[in-house]
Amino acid sequence: MLFFFLFLLAAEARSTKRTGCKDFTCGEHDFKFPFFRTDMPSRCGLFKLNCSANIPEIQLEKDGKWYTVKSVSQANTITIIDPRLNQSLTTGGCSDLSSFSLPDSPWLKLNTLYKCNNSSRKNGFSYANCRGEGSSLYYNLGDDHDVSGCSPIKTPESWVTPKNGNLSDVNATFSLHIELPGNCFRCHNNGGECTKVKNNYRCVGANTGMNTMKHDHNFCNSTCKTFGYMTIIRLLSLCCRTK
């Protein structure tokens, strides 16, 4: 009987915290956490979807630019289109390349390229399908390289297609893999919001309290136990009063 009451209390608490959050259909695709619709509270997910248009749109960061959603897989890989970059590639001008960079999101698996305005480095490449704006050279440099005079940009892994020599085609359609620890899903199920500060995952506002989730995924052990003990004491107290 005691465990039954515990189950009911936990279920009610999760339901209260997750009010307004649910799985949904957007266009031809089905979505669940970490995605949420524009008409849902921000605590429902990490990536906002606009489903009012014929083709779904997604933001990769809060108040960021909108990208067109092309497809989404069960493995949390989403394929999107950058409309402005796509238009630039169509005309061949590529004016938007000078400012192109994806947000440095802790939830996305991205590459770091360095845009350099000189050709003194080796193994750089420029864009074959651009005119004018493709004159800058881009490098895949490691942490041990001199990056002075270069600007880092975040790009998807499938952003460029190598061609002849040091030329590559850039793509306006690319796939992004969303990387979330299992703790974020548990945090969401407990009514919390998953954030990341430096190398620590933080679960804010969950029913188990304010939790800091270390990268080794052992964030819930002590707080969950404490919550369980407190609940048992309260139930035993109520049972004794009714006798």
Residue 13 lies inside a defined structural domain of this protein:
yes
Q: Is the pLDDT of residue 28 over 80?
A: yes
**Which residues form the domain of 203?**
2-20+180-238
Residue 128 lies inside a defined structural domain of this protein:
yes
Residue 74 lies inside a defined structural domain of this protein:
no
Whether residue 114 sits in one domain with residue 128 = yes
157 against 207, higher pLDDT: 157
Whether residue 164 sits in one domain with residue 209 = no
- 178 neighbors 157 (Cβ within 8 angstroms): no
Whether residue 166 sits in one domain with residue 196 = no
Counting Cα atoms < 13 Å in the Cβ hemisphere of 240 gives: 6
**In whole angstroms, what is the distance from residue 94 CA to residue 58 CA?**
22
**In whole angstroms, what is the distance from residue 232 CA to residue 223 CA?**
14
Residue 132 lies inside a defined structural domain of this protein:
yes
Which of 142, 158, 177 finishes a domain?
177
Residue 158 lies inside a defined structural domain of this protein:
yes
Transcribe 113-177 into DSSP letters.
Answer: EEEES-S-SSS-BEETT-SSGGGSEEE---TTS--TTEEEEEE-TTSEEE-STTEEEE-SEEEEE
Q: Which residues pair with 108 in a beta bridge?
A: 178
Q: Is the pLDDT of residue 7 over 70?
A: no
Q: What is residue 88's three-state secondary structure?
A: helix
- Mean pLDDT on 34-61: 93
Whether residue 202 sits in one domain with residue 164 = no
Which of 141, 158, 177 finishes a domain?
177
Which of 136, 161, 177 finishes a domain?
177
Whether residue 191 sits in one domain with residue 126 = no
Residue 170 lies inside a defined structural domain of this protein:
yes
pLDDT digits (tens, 9 = 90+) for 80-117: 999 988 887 887 766 667 678 899 899 999 988 888 76
Look at the chain and report how many structural domains it folds into. 2
**In whole angstroms, what is the distance from residue 148 CA to residue 113 CA?**
13
Q: Is the pLDDT of residue 227 over 50?
A: no
**What would you report as the CA-atom Rg of the chain, rounded to the nearest whole angstrom?**
23
Residue 199 lies inside a defined structural domain of this protein:
yes
138 against 69, higher pLDDT: 69
- First-to-last CA distance in the chain? 15
